[in-house]
Amino acid sequence: MTKRNLRTPFRDEQVYISGDVAIAMWEYFKVTGNDSLLLEGGAEVILECARFYFSYA
**Predicted local confidence at residue 52, as pLDDT:** 87
Question: Is the pLDDT reported for residue 1 higher than 60?
Answer: no
Q: What is the pLDDT of residues 8-48, one digit of tens each?
A: 666 667 778 888 999 999 999 999 999 999 999 999 999 99
Nearby residues of 8 by Cβ (< 8 Å), 6 or more positions away? none
**Predicted local confidence at residue 2, as pLDDT:** 66
Q: Phi, psi at residue 17, to the nearest 5°? A: -65, -40
